[in-house]
């Protein structure tokens, strides 16, 4: 034991030498310690990657200290906690974000430089954690950063996929997918919790039983898989609070298939056991829909079941019964993906806690809030009843019971309106019976959130009208936001320094509303000069990257015009490319003196197409084919370049966004629920060329339409335009550029035929033709504005100054207050 009358833990803390220190020498000691003992490199020869590993472990140690204190503090205070359930988190790199949030970036850089390493070079060693598809997943990551920074007692829960979103490689202009086995080189940012694991069950049958004299149902599962926790500490900025993102990995359970061992086929038994791991193997790479896939349903239930077991265990550690559950637990459903947790919580309360239907239901309907991220009714998840019956028989019963009660209640309110009853039913009748997961989520959540005001309007008037009329008070919206820590401080250090200099404080990094003060300097020529310098530095960085990736040399005087996001017909990358073709065509037909007036452009497109989405893949190929022609046309030279940036991901975005002048958000109005890319560009002083879709109208309110390039049909005009034959309204320029593609001007004539068919012959569903003229006008307006450097700079400064409302800090505060009912719980320093 310990001597000297000291408490054992105090003595232990003394032996630890207290908390780790953040001065450069202490950091150096830690880095060398990890080189020796963690990375185990021979003393002391280690390369950049090994130095990255050692640095990461040193940073991780600091995260763990704060993480422990935060969890301890939450435990002591026992506040209402938010549990954020999401099947996708697009975290990107962790090192750069962690050192910024811990406030030790400069110390790390100094420590490394004395050891002969460069911080920036090491940061580049890290691969992206790409456990998500696009906007929804990156939104989750931004929101975790805000939750930590604002001291909310929150946990994230998700799935630890072994294969993240595929890597995109381009061969001969075609997209090919390669597996992203991101854990190959280890992951210093996670902590494996071998002792935190729960059994998750599937299949089997349901039997009647009697417990304590009461009839109840017992589920006899057919398969058990173990869920093991991997914790990813999420540090807040300017606070000690460090919250947890707990991701579950599937492992074979000890009790798995004991029968097969007895058959004597030992090897096959092991091989079968190993199949359990398939559940958390791979992220579905298609963000359109996942209709009726057994593995998808298993993934959803797997992470939800493990998370709920964990949440309930934590609750029961402190509370004797479930009366307080809704006052201590908020469960956030990020889209419908985790919605099976509704049935699972109900099952646990009914079958395991024996609370009875009424009491269980009263708890369930108070804890869930649901955010939907889509406008397309066809993207709403459905699960065939047969599949459900097979994989989760007891849950299906519960859903039927919930639906029965709901239908009875509804009949009392609306009478025998069978058409409406059947639209609102959780169970879709028809040739194939389906569970409508969105309906389940709406019925059982206390709040349904949209992700922008426009999205909310569409939810009310088009997508969930029946439900809105029934429960108007349930429907809200929280316009999406992005974190300025990642999207300015980490990715654009020069801009960050400039903002702090002019505001005279760094407080805007926590208190984003301060950014608005930049407005008064928007026309100040000193700021403008410095602002332009920063843009130039970032454009240089981007130009270098473009040259390495695509071999195309671009001029820094050109306007960098960027569209980076997943490739989808509704996002209309095709409109962008057709616009580029038009520009090329115009230049080719110009006299020499006219050419002098042309504003040089570098058009940059990047994004992944879902692997099974043929048309999206053709758009990528078209981009390359057009680029091939334009970039090799010396007659056009620097007046126009088109580049496709391969393998777009979070860290590529961090490089591209700060270096762009103009960015495009040009979805057909009514299709983008919110859009979050635009917000990142806005923060980085990049002008927007956009349709009045998703969150754009709210951006217009902040910065003013005169400081943007808005074009195209409005949300309300789209349905009528679709009614008419769109080819009739397509302008001649449009017909001409499509004809060039059709006629094989860029080669691959047969291959592009079906792509051209999507916008011609009355089939132009996304209205490229009818928006084309106003698109070209907006582009021309951007050209004119770019010529007036002073004006352009002013607009650019106004973008950043007007971006406060689009910080995820604002989104999260809104959710905390209006949806989750949680309070900050700040851990003392
Ligand atoms: N694809 C929306 O389409 C929104 C994000 C985050 C999306 C997009 O407009 O900004 O969610 N929807 O709310 C889904 O993923 C279902 C997206 O990222």
CATH class of the region 501-806: alpha beta
Phi then psi for 248, rounded to 5 degrees? -100, 135
Q: Is the CB of 30 under 6 A from ligand 1?
A: no
Distance 552 CA to ligand 1 centre (A): 32
Please report the pLDDT score of residue 662 as a whole number: 98
Tell me 191's DSSP state. E
Q: Which residue has a Cα nearest atom 18 of ligand 1?
A: 135
User: Which CATH code is given to the segment(s) 83-91+135-164+181-233+242-382+441-480+815-820?
Assistant: 3.40.50.2000
The residues pairing with 710 across neighbouring beta strands, listed in sequence order, are 690
Distance 613 CA to ligand 1 centre (A): 17
Distance 642 CA to ligand 1 centre (A): 27
Instruction: Report the distance separating Cα 596 and Cα 264, nearest Å.
Output: 82
Q: Is the CB of 694 under 6 A from ligand 1?
A: yes
Query: What atom in ligand 1 is closest to the CA of residue 455?
Result: 9
Please report the pLDDT score of residue 258 as a whole number: 58
Domains of the chain by residue range: 19-77+94-127, 83-91+135-164+181-233+242-382+441-480+815-820, 501-806
Instruction: Report the distance separating Cα 157 and Cα 330, nearest Å.
Output: 13
Place of tokens 């309007």: 457
Distance 765 CA to ligand 1 centre (A): 20
Q: Which residue has a Cα nearest atom 10 of ligand 1?
A: 675
Question: Which residue among 90, 133, 135, 449 is best mutated to probe the pocket of ligand 1, counting the most ligand atoms within 8 A of its Cβ?
Answer: 135
| Residues tagged active-site | 373, 565-566, 571, 676, 680
Query: What atom in ligand 1 is closest to the CA of residue 135?
Result: 18
Query: What atom in ligand 1 is closest to the CA of residue 675?
Result: 10
Please report the pLDDT score of residue 640 as a whole number: 98
Instruction: Report the distance separating Cα 205 and Cα 209, nearest Å.
Output: 13
Q: Is the pTM of this model over 0.95?
A: yes
- Successive 10-residue mean pLDDT values, the chain, 829 residues: 75 88 97 96 89 98 97 97 98 98 98 97 97 98 98 98 98 98 95 96 95 89 96 98 98 70 77 89 89 92 98 97 97 98 98 96 98 91 96 98 98 96 97 96 98 98 97 98 98 98 98 98 98 98 97 97 98 98 98 95 98 97 98 97 98 98 98 98 98 98 98 97 78 97 98 97 93 98 98 98 98 98 95
Question: 354-365 burial string, b = 16+ CB within 10 Å, else e?
Answer: ebeeeebbebbb
Query: What atom in ligand 1 is closest to the CA of residue 134?
Result: 18
Distance 472 CA to ligand 1 centre (A): 23
Q: Is the CB of 287 under 6 A from ligand 1?
A: yes
Place of tokens 């030790």: 104
| Rama region for 379: left / alpha / beta (φ>0; ψ in -120 to 50; rest) | alpha
729 close to 539: Cβ distance less than 8 angstroms: no
Q: Is 500 exposed, middle or buried (0-12, 13-18, 19+ CB in 10 A)?
A: middle
Which residue, among 803, 788, 807, has the nearest Cα to 700 in the 3D structure? 803
Q: Is the CB of 139 under 6 A from ligand 1?
A: yes
Same-fold call for 83-91+135-164+181-233+242-382+441-480+815-820 versus 501-806: yes
Instruction: Report the distance separating Cα 433 and Cα 403, nearest Å.
Output: 14
Question: Which residue among 290, 335, 374, 377 is best mutated to probe the pocket of ligand 1, counting the most ligand atoms within 8 A of its Cβ?
Answer: 374
Distance 691 CA to ligand 1 centre (A): 16
Q: Is the CB of 403 under 6 A from ligand 1?
A: no
| Rama region for 196: left / alpha / beta (φ>0; ψ in -120 to 50; rest) | beta
- ipTM exceeding cut-off 0.90 for this assembly: yes
Please report the pLDDT score of residue 151 as a whole number: 98
Question: Which residue among 373, 378, 483, 616 is best mutated to probe the pocket of ligand 1, counting the most ligand atoms within 8 A of its Cβ?
Answer: 373
Please report the pLDDT score of residue 265 as a whole number: 81
Distance 674 CA to ligand 1 centre (A): 7
Q: Is the CB of 136 under 6 A from ligand 1?
A: yes
Distance 373 CA to ligand 1 centre (A): 5
Question: Which residue among 454, 674, 678, 694 is best mutated to probe the pocket of ligand 1, counting the most ligand atoms within 8 A of its Cβ?
Answer: 674
């Amino acid at each position: 034991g310990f001597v000297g009358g000291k408490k054992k833990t105090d003595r232990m803390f003394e032996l630890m030498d207290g908390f780790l220190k953040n001065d450069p020498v202490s950091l150096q000691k830690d880095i060398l310690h990890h080189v020796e003992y963690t990375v185990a490199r021979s003393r002391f020869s280690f390369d950049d990657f090994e130095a990255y590993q050692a640095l990461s472990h040193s940073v991780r140690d600091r995260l763990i200290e704060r993480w422990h204190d935060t969890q301890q503090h939450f435990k002591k205070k026992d506040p209402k906690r938010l549990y954020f359930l999401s099947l996708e988190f697009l975290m990107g790199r962790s090192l750069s974000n962690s050192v910024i949030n811990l406030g030790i970036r400069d110390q790390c850089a100094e420590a490394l430089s004395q050891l002969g390493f460069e911080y920036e070079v090491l940061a580049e060693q890290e691969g992206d954690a790409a456990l998500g598809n696009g906007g929804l997943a990156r939104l989750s990551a931004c929101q975790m950063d805000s939750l930590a920074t604002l001291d909310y007692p929150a946990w994230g829960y998700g799935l630890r996929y072994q294969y993240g979103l595929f890597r995109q490689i381009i061969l001969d202009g075609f997209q090919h997918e390669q597996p992203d086995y991101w854990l190959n080189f280890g992951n210093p940012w996670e902590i494996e919790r071998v002792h935190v694991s729960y059994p998750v069950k599937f299949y089997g049958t349901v039997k009647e039983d009697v417990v304590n004299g009461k009839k109840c149902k017992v589920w006899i599962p057919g398969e058990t898989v173990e869920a093991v926790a991997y914790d990813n500490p999420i540090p807040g900025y300017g606070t000690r609070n460090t919250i947890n993102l707990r991701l579950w990995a599937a492992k074979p359970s000890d009790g798995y298939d004991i029968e097969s061992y007895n058959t004597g086929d030992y090897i096959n038994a092991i091989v079968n056991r190993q199949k359990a791991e398939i559940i958390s193997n791979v992220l579905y790479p298609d963000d359109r829909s996942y209709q009726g896939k057994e593995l998808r349903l298993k993934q959803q239930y797997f992470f939800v079941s493990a998370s709920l077991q964990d949440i309930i265990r934590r609750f029961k550690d402190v509370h004797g019964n479930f009366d307080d559950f809704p006052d201590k637990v908020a469960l956030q459903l990020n889209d419908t993906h985790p919605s099976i947790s509704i049935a699972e919580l109900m099952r646990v309360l009914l079958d395991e806690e024996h609370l009875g239907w009424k009491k269980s239901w009263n708890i369930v309907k108070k804890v869930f809030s649901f955010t939907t991220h889509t406008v397309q009714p066809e993207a709403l998840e459905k699960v065939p009843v047969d599949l459900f019956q097979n994989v989760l028989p007891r849950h299906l019963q519960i859903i039927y019971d919930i639906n029965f009660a709901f239908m009875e209640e509804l009949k009392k309110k609306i009478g025998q309106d069978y058409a409406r009853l059947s639209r609102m039913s959780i169970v879709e009748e028809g040739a194939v019976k389906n569970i409508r997961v969105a309906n389940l989520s709406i019925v059982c959540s206390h709040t349904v959130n949209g992700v922008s005001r426009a999205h909310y309007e569409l939810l009310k008037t088009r997508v969930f009208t029946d439900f809105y009329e029934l429960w108007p008070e349930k429907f809200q919206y929280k316009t999406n936001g992005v974190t300025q820590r990642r999207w300015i401080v980490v990715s654009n250090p020069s801009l960050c320094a400039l903002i702090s200099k002019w505001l005279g404080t760094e407080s805007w990094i926590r208190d984003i509303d301060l950014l608005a003060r930049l407005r008064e300097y928007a026309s100040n020529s000193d700021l403008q000069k410095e602002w332009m310098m920063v843009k130039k530095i970032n454009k240089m960085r981007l130009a270098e990257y473009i040259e390495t990736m695509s071999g195309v040399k671009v001029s820094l005087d050109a306007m960098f015009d960027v569209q980076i996001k997943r490739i989808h017909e509704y996002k209309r990358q095709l409109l962008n490319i057709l616009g580029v073709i038009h520009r090329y065509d115009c230049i080719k037909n110009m006299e020499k003196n006219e050419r002098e007036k042309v504003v040089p452009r570098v058009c940059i497109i990047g994004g992944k197409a879902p692997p099974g989405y043929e048309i999206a893949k053709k758009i990528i190929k078209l981009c390359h084919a057009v680029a091939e022609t334009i970039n090799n046309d010396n007659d056009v030279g620097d007046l126009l370049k088109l580049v496709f940036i391969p393998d777009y991901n979070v860290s590529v975005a961090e490089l591209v966004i700060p270096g762009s002048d103009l960015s495009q958000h040009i979805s057909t109005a009514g299709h983008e629920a919110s859009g979050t890319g635009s917000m990142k560009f806005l923060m980085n002083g990049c002008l927007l060329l956009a349709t009045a879709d998703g969150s754009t109208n709210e951006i217009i309110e902040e910065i003013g339409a005169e400081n943007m390039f808005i074009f195209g049909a409005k949300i309300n005009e789209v349905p009528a335009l679709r009614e008419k034959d769109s080819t009739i309204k397509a302008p001649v320029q449009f017909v001409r550029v499509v004809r060039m593609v059709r006629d094989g001007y860029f080669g691959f004539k047969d291959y592009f035929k079906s792509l051209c068919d999507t916008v011609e012959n009355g089939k132009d569903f996304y209205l490229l033709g009818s928006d084309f003229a106003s698109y070209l006008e907006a582009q021309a307006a951007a050209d004119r504005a770019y010529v007036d450097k002073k004006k352009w700079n002013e607009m650019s400064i106004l973008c950043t100054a007007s971006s406060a409302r689009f910080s995820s800090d604002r989104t999260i505060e809104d959710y905390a207050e209006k949806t989750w009912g949680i309070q900050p719980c700040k851990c003392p320093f």
